[in-house]
Amino acid sequence: MSSVPKQLATFVAVLAVLFAGGAIAGQLIGPDARGEDDPMSGHGAQRSHEEDSHMTSTSTEVHGLAVADGGLRIELEQPELRRDREQTLAFRIVDGNGQAVRDFDVTHEKRMHLILARRDLTGFQHLHPEMAADGTWSTRVTLPEAGSYRLFADFSHAGEATTLASDLRVDGAADLKPLPAPQPTAVSDGGYDVRLDSTGARAGKESELRFTITRDGKPVETEPYLGAGGHFVALREGDLAFLHVHPTDEGDGVGFMATFPTEGRYRLFLQFQHEGRVHTVAFTEKVSR
């Protein structure tokens, strides 16, 4: 009789082990067995390049504030440049082991987009450096004004879009400029008249920004530039948070659907190509709550 309780206890223990094993197996194979997407693996974790890229307009995340993100870091060879002198600007994107990354995705016809702007949001430049065999990116650059500049490396690696930023210093006393007040019209560096029609940008909400470009009073039809009718970068006043979008295909002129992450003032830089030359024009946009 004393063996019966012992056999019963053994039976209960075996059932408990089997039940626990079944539960664990169900957790491991359940999503695929039910035909559902596992949010951590499989097709449910795969997004298109357009969805991953913060060159699209719907993300409210803030980009361009960190020298490192997602296990990658930007390293400048020389963070200080001479004023008004053409020099080589060189940098690498390195992984967590300090090894240079060399495989980059093509986004908007380029594997690397390099944006430069002084801290007062003047001196904007958009460059496309070349990568050497050792993973070093380099380009020739001239910064005519002294001061502190922000450098943005905008790229995609392994299908993940990333914007890393670092500071550049240009020798000499800086003559900082106040941010211009918002105006509906501006003149590009090539003498084109540009009008900004805004639907009233609000933080965290998708807003339409449409630019009408004319020369001598006649509408200008832009040529493809980086695979689109225009190129648009917004930088937030103060910390220079980075917003990079591309145009929509609807309506007249060049239009963008952009989501500004917070309220505040932003400097908008529109680039467009006409008659084989790229032109740049800047606006100030006040984004409300």
Domain chopping of the chain, boundaries: 1-46, 56-170, 185-287
Q: What is residue 146's predicted lDDT score, i.e. its pLDDT?
A: 98
For the chain, the average pLDDT equals 83
Burial class (CB in 10 A: 0-12, 13-18, 19+), 10: exposed
Q: What is residue 25's predicted lDDT score, i.e. its pLDDT?
A: 37
Helix, strand and coil in the chain, % to nearest 5: 15, 45, 45
Q: What is residue 198's predicted lDDT score, i.e. its pLDDT?
A: 82
Q: What residues have CB less than 8 Å from 266, skipping those under 6 apart?
A: 234, 235, 236, 237, 243, 260, 284, 285, 287
Q: What is the pTM of this model?
A: 0.79
Q: What is residue 275's predicted lDDT score, i.e. its pLDDT?
A: 96
The terminus-to-terminus CA distance of the chain in angstroms comes to 79
Q: What is residue 60's predicted lDDT score, i.e. its pLDDT?
A: 59
Q: Tell me the pLDDT tens digit for each residue of 30-39.
A: 333 333 333 2
Provide the token pair at 173.
Answer: 């006393």
Q: Tell me the pLDDT tens digit for each residue of 213-251.
A: 999 999 999 999 998 889 999 999 999 999 878 678 777
Q: Are 231 and 279 in contact (CB under 8 A)?
A: no
Domain 56-170 shares a fold with domain 185-287: yes
Q: Can you identify the CATH homologous superfamily of domain 185-287?
A: Domain of unknown function DUF4426 (2.60.40.3340)
Regions of the chain short of the pLDDT cut 70: 1-60, 246
Provide the token pair at 231.
Answer: 């190129």
Give the phi and the psi of residue 83 in degrees, each rounded to 5. Answer: -70, 135
Q: What is residue 184's predicted lDDT score, i.e. its pLDDT?
A: 96
Q: What is residue 59's predicted lDDT score, i.e. its pLDDT?
A: 47
Hey, how many other C-beta atoms are within 10 angstroms of the C-beta on 104?
A: 18
Q: What is residue 200's predicted lDDT score, i.e. its pLDDT?
A: 82
> Can you tell me the distance from the alpha carbon of 276 to that of 272, in angstroms, rounded to the nearest whole number?
10
Class for domain 56-170, per CATH?
mainly beta
Task: Report the C-alpha dihedral over residues 168, 126, 69, 246, rounded to 10 degrees.
Answer: 150
Q: What residues have CB less than 8 Å from 238, skipping those under 6 apart?
A: 264
Q: Is 270 helix (H, G, I), strand (E, B) or coil?
A: strand
